[in-house]
Structure 1
Amino acid sequence: MNLISLENINKSYGEKVLFDDISLGISEGQKIGLIGVNGTGKSTLLKIIVGIDTADKGKIIARNKLKIEYLSQNTQFTKDDTVMEAIFKGDSPIMVLLREYEKAVKEISQNPQDETVQNNFNRISEKMDALDAWNVESDAKTILTKLGINDFEAKVENLSGGQRKRIALAGALISPSDILILDEPTNHIDDETVNWLETYLNSRKGSLIMITHDRYFLDRIANEILELYKGKLYSYEGNYSKYLEQKLDRLNKMEAKEQKRQSLIKSELKWIRRGAKARSTKQKARIDRFETLQNENVDLSNGKVEISVGNTRLGKKIIEINDISMSFDNKTLIDNFSYIVNRDDRIGIVGPNGMGKSTLLNIIAGKIKPTSGDVEIGETVKIGYFSQEYRNIDETLRVIDYIKETAEYMSTSDGTLISASQMLEKFLFPGALQYTPISKLSGGEKRRLYLLKVLMDAPNVLLLDEPTNDLDIETLNILEEYIEEFTGTVVAVSHDRYFLDKVSNRIFAFEGNGKVLEHTGNYTDYIDFHNSILEEAPNKEKKKDNHEKESRNNKREKTLKFTFKEQKEYEEIEGNIAETESALEEISKSINESSSDYMTLQELMANKEKTEEHLNYLLDRWMYLSDLAEKIDNKKS
């Protein structure tokens, strides 16, 4: 069933045409990945679907009472909102009620003896029961925890940009909707969280349209890919892998069609040059066809960013990291880490957020000093640092002036001199756009411009801090190709698994408490190794337990009688089971009575889990002992 349709949509900003008569339909169950070079209008298209922006031309037809939930790249929160208040946005009855409930919880915690406050809390609690809103609140806390947000009463304005993005993502996920629209949902979240988000979105029943540069994410979730390219929208059925196959097929067909067109032009040109004495209607039609063929604008380019950057010579000594340690606020991020960087190293740095990955890059770059130890940099090393903090750009500068600050000309890998303007052309900044103030660029275009500035300096060691954030897939593909041809060293912090698999030959994994594990291979190799270790330990224990259990069973088969301890356990176990079941009932009652006190609720839930585990253990023992008692009785008889 079609939920929403966009028909013949046009949108322009000044002379820049974003959409040229594009059409799109979203049906139930569709999971769409929207891709395209930065600046082509992907986010604008999402805003038009949501209704935040409007098209210059065309129409939108939506199903009655269609609910759309939208995660933008830059979510604004109300001042003084707590985390829970921030995610319960929207005007649906449940969201309004949940905001009232959070407010009531705060009031009753501040004035527990106030009868008016108590009555209001009880009234809202009854409404929560009626609308079955408790599950939504519980889901919200679960999702926040999975996204690394644990302090639900923290003020949003005091949190980092990454934390605010994750809160906005949680808000979008919990809000009931027919279509969920996500703009770069994987930015600012680590690998483990991305894996959880994949599972969550795959199990979600509603429709989805998202912009993301994470190609594994697209491959595992999307069942359709839409590509925006030069004002046109191309649709490909299937995931990212299928898209690559179908796009290659489309380009091959276009190339064959263009070759045929060129052949026809040559044939018609010969006829035109021979001249025709009589200009019949048939001959005029043929001349018209020639002009049509000649004027056709066939675009066979694939929109790739071409990088052909030279780099300076690199000597034998590159970077030596000698027993460095780093601590902040009594938290150890790096503990006695050493490594000698080699010329052909392509190092990927992975780990949860806040573990110290960017800190290691900053130490190598000389931006901060370690608590102990040192880093030695070789004399020939020229570092190019592509950091997350690029927002100190003077946005009043024109695009070309920003690049010329680094170099007006540079030498490519084959020794050819190329101007700043020519390099900008290769980076999809055409002539007119080069004289545009940086403030007019999209976030992705600014990021791409910053990448060019780093490379224009011809470094021989590249430090890349989350290079995949805000870069489009096409630019990432070419950056990966550039790294493959790059003769220097690359060290990259990234949560983009696809990127790390393509470029890295060694992984530094931050595992917590300052421990940094070195592993040879790419990201998938590291994950396979890590999982094998996790599986190996329990298997060893299991084998040991099975062996001991088998030995005990063999002995038991021979003797078939209770030990003194087992006899006593058998006599008491039914009473213990009854006591444990009663305790479990009491805990459940306390949970229902403590729904407003989250700290107590957490303790009770943990206690309930432990009690349930103990009950299961007792039941297993009761079954085992009862079975043994039956065998003993049978043997006696």
Structure 2
Amino acid sequence: MAHLLGAENLSIAFNGRVILDGVSLGLNEGDRVGMVGRNGDGKSTLMRLLAKRGEGDNGRVTWVGGLNVGYLDQQDVLDGDMSVGEAIVGDADEHEWASNRTARDIMDGLVKEVDWHAKIADLSGGQKRRVALAKLLIGDHDVIMLDEPTNHLDVEGVHWLANHLKNRWRPNQGGLLVVTHDRWFLDEVSTRTWEVHDGMVEPFEGGYAAYILQRVERDRQNASIESKRQNLAKKELAWLRRGAPARTSKPKFRIDAANELIADVPEVRNKVELASLAVTRLGKDVVDILDASVSYPGKDVLKKIEWRLAPGERTGILGVNGAGKSTLLGLIDGTVEPTEGRVKRGKTVKVVTLSQKLDELTEFLNDPVRVVISQLRTSYTVGAGSKAQELTPGQLLERLGFSNHHLSTPIKDLSGGQKRRLQLLMILLEQPNILILDEPTNDLDTDMLAAMEDLLDTWPGTLIVVSHDRYFLERVTDQQYTLFGGKLRHLPGGVDEYLRLRTEEEARTGAASSSSASSTTTQPASSDSAAVSGAERRAAQKEISTIERRLQKLTQSIEKVHAKMADHDQSDFDGLRALNEELRGYEDEVASLEERWLELSELVG
């Protein structure tokens, strides 16, 4: 593959701290690289240097002749006085870009809902991000560098961007370099991973899941690597491996190696113990939303919502902006009263919300961290049953990535991610039994997200999460719901089902608009699940059960072949070859059955 750009012996330091120390690397045609690492370890700095937006203290960055690099900064760099149209296409007439299929797809995917004539200064943060992405992607670039491109994007926006980047170039053409904390997005678009840490860049093959596996193996071989980080990575790997068949039908790493690594790792959450403890703390009555509707002048937001929250329930809420997610959360925490119906709360219920606004820290901005935590509870219990453990606020801080020198730092001088983690600590120490997380992943790197997930795994209460971070949502919740037309709808198929429903809804809306414009009458498209008859659904469910039983038997057969291979005479090549062919046959059948399982699951909804 042809070389596109590279760094040679690149070094840079800020305020006496070395960020990059003699880094040498290259980006070739066809590379799709995701960059991971802790906040402050140099991911964005490295990208800026590779994009020639700055210079290092030593070393150099080289591009091949005529290279066209598109770069998206974390910060808003658009001219606020420009209109949306001017920012994206400049002075070009509409027919110049509208005749380009890719340009039309970018406009539809990112800025369809944004006023073409609106001033950039008047847009929301999410709208500005979409305009900046559209401006970049509409250009013809050999290499695209994206620094936190999913910030302010909803689940659908992230899904569209991933698909666009996967299909933008032909295989072995173009180059992509992306910094993001969105682990689902990393797995979708990346074929290689660069971990930036301790002044160096360590390369790994594959996306995020493959990187986790390789990092665990590296940490096992090097006992000096901190054990806490290793355990978190192993725990995350266990979840990746043991997730729904959708995660394992097209594995990005060797399944047998993953099984060996997590053989002694328990499930990420002990659901029985947590549910038992939740009932003890909450009782059987939590929050019952009974036939509740909420209306504002000129708009019905929620219509006849029926939802009984259970002790220990872990639910994710999906929906477009304006669908009513915040209103629904308000019904739960009592800040919104229904205009019809009622909300019934248990006597011991204590609801706390981790909001996007960091309100809990406002009165402490000039205080150092140690003063703030000294005013909190003296202990916090993690785990349940025999594994329960008491942690001091200081130990909890350490678990969330703070070190001793942070204790004397005023709150106002903390980074966005540190403020976010301190906010979570303060809320947990209030010992709520219903915790609402509203976009909790903002400003957190992948390691800190894993630390937050690990902490939430031991939290024995009812958890409600609203997040555009698909990986986090699937990781910490056990089920998902969405709001469509003011109605609450369960999503047995999770985020994939939500995206399918949104696509169908947009298709119906588009068909209705076309029908209205042409003065003809057409029937709206029906969803796949609506088109399935009862008999077909029962047959599909029966086949799913048959497949699941067969997969269990195949797993046992694979384990037996592995055992035979381990005990077999290693000099008997013919015998080993026969066992390997038997194993390959089982694995091929597993892959085929898992694909069929996914098709049937989509069919029955």
Q: Does TM, normalized by the shorter one, top 0.5?
A: yes
Deviations 1:529-553 (A, max 9, x none): 9999832445669x9xxxxxxxxxx
Question: What is aligned with 1:422?
Answer: 395
**Where does residue 320 of structure 2 map in the other structure?**
352
Contact 1:406 1:457 in 2 (8 A): no
The residue number in structure 1 matching 2:164 is: 200
Deviations 1:275-298 (A, max 9, x none): xxxxxxxxxxxxxxxxxxxxxxx6
Instruction: Give the number of aligned pairs.
Output: 462
Q: 2:528 aligns with which of 518, 524, 535?
A: 535
CA distance in 2 between partners of 1:194 and 1:239 (Å)? 16
- The amino acid of 2:358's aligned partner reads Y
Within 2, Cα distance between the matches of 1:528 and 1:13? 47
From 106, 115, 125, the equivalent of 1:143 is 106
Whether the 8 Å contact between 2:314 and 2:463 is mirrored in structure 1 is: yes
Runs of 4+ more than 6 Å apart: 303-312, 525-533
Q: Indicate conservation of the 8 Å contact 1:68/1:177, yes or no.
A: yes
**Deviation of 1:492 (Å):** 0.7
Q: Which residue of 1 aligns with 2:595?
A: none
Secondary structure in 1 matching 2:460: coil
1:30 and 2:31 aligned = yes
Partner Cα distance (1:349, 1:393) in 2: 26
Aligned residues of 2:369 and 2:411 also touching (Cα < 8 A): no
- Give the fraction of aligned pairs with identical amino acids, expressed as a percent: 35
Larger mean Cα displacement after TM superposition, 420-429 or 201-210:
420-429
> Which residues in structure 2 correspond to 1:394-409 (within 5 Å)?
394=362, 396-398=365-367, 400-401=369-370, 403-404=372-373, 407=376, 409=378
The answer as to 2:470 corresponding to 1:507 is no
What does the per-residue CA deviation read over 1:288-311, in whole Å, with 9 as the maximum and x for residues that have no partner? xxxxxxxxxx65652788999999
Which residue type is aligned with residue 400 of structure 2? Answer: F
Name the SS for the 1:433 alignment partner.
helix
Letter matched to residue 106 of structure 2: I
The 1:40–1:531 alpha-carbon spacing in structure 2 relative to 1, beyond 3 Å, is same
Q: 2:290 aligns with which of 309, 322, 327?
A: 322
Q: How does 1:80-95 map to 2 (within 5 A)?
A: 80-88=81-89
Local SS of the residue matching 2:82: coil
Is 1:179 aligned to residue 143 of structure 2?
A: yes
Residues 1:155 and 2:119 are matched in the alignment: yes
1:236: how far off? 0.3
Cα deviations across residues 439-476 of structure 1 (Å, max 9, x unaligned)? 44443333333223322323221101122333222222
In structure 1, stretches of 5+ residues that fail to align are 89-98, 106-124, 259-297, 544-637
Local SS of the residue matching 2:353:
strand
Relative to structure 1, is the Cα distance of residues 416 and 516 closer, same or farther in structure 2, using a 3 angstrom cutoff? closer
> Is 1:387 aligned to residue 387 of structure 2?
no
Deviation track 1:545-598 (CA, whole Å, cap 9, x = no partner) reads xxxxxxxxxxxxxxxxxxxxxxxxxxxxxxxxxxxxxxxxxxxxxxxxxxxxxx
Deviations along 1:59-116, one digit per CA (max 9) or x if unpaired, are: 222223332222222213223211111223xxxxxxxxxx2346xx9xxxxxxxxxxx
TM-score with structure 2 length normalisation? 0.68
Q: Determine the structure 2 residue equivalent to 1:287.
A: none
Code of the residue aligned with 2:319 in structure 1: it is G
Q: 1:382 to 1:51 in 2, by over 3 A?
A: farther
1:450 corresponds in structure 2 to 423
Give distance in 1, aligned partners of 2:302 and 2:130.
26
Q: Is the 8 A contact 2:380 2:429 kept in 1?
A: no
Counterpart secondary structure, 1:353: coil
Deviations 1:386-443 (A, max 9, x none): 1222278448435515742761632333776644333322221212233234444443
| Distance (whole Å) between structure 1 residues aligned to residue 86 and residue 361 of structure 2 | 34
1:448–1:230: structure 2 CA closer, same or farther, 3 Å change rule? farther
The answer as to whether partners of 1:398 and 1:434 remain within 8 angstroms in 2 is no
Query: Deviation digits for residues 16-69 of structure 1, max 9, x if unmatched?
Result: 443333333212221111112223232222222223343333322222333222
Q: Which amino acid aligns with 2:345?
A: I
SS of structure 1 residue aligned to 2:22:
strand
Task: Give the CA RMSD over aligned residues.
Answer: 3.5
Give the AA of the match of 1:518.
H
**Which amino acid counterpart does residue 385 of structure 1 have in structure 2?**
T
- State the Cα distance separating 1:201 from its structure 2 match: 0.4
Matched, 1:516 2:488: yes
Summarize deviations over 1:207-266 as a string: whole Å, max 9, x none: 1111222222222210101112233321101122221221122112213xx6xxxxxxxx
* Residue in structure 2 matched with residue 496 of structure 1 by the alignment: 469
Distance 1:524 1:481 in 2: 24
CA drift at 1:528: 8.7
Aligned equivalents of 1:157 and 1:485: distance in 2?
43
Most deviating of 414-423 and 453-462: 414-423
Is 2:381 aligned against 1:412?
yes
The 2-side partners of 1:426 and 1:516 are apart by: 36
Matched, 1:249 2:249: no
State the match for 1:468 in structure 2. Answer: 441
Look up the equivalent residue of 2:379 and give its one-letter code: M
Classify 1:100/1:201 alpha carbon distance in 2 versus 1 (closer, same or farther; 3 Å).
Answer: same
Check 1:354–1:529 CA distance in 2 against 1; reply closer, same or farther (3 A cut). Answer: closer
The two structures have a TM-score, normalised by structure 1, of 0.65
SS in 1 for 2:357: coil
The answer to whether the Cα contact below 8 Å between 2:156 and 2:499 also exists between their aligned partners in 1 is no
2:49–2:61 Cα contact (<8 Å) kept: no
State the shift of 1:525 in Å. Answer: 7.3
Q: Distance in 2 between matches of 1:316 and 1:523?
A: 29
Q: Quote the Cα distance in structure 2 between the aligned partners of 1:453 and 1:55.
A: 39
Which residue identity is paired with 2:305? F
Structure 1 residues 86, 370: CA separation in 2 closer, same or farther (over 3 Å shift)?
farther
Counterpart of 1:56 in structure 2: which amino acid?
Answer: D
- State the secondary structure of the residue aligned to 2:79: coil
Cα displacement (A) at 1:5: 1.4
**1:100 — aligned with what?**
91
Q: Secondary structure at the match of 2:222?
A: helix
How far 1:348 moved relative to its partner? 1.0
Greater Rg by CA = 1
Alignment of 1:361 with 2:329, yes or no, is yes
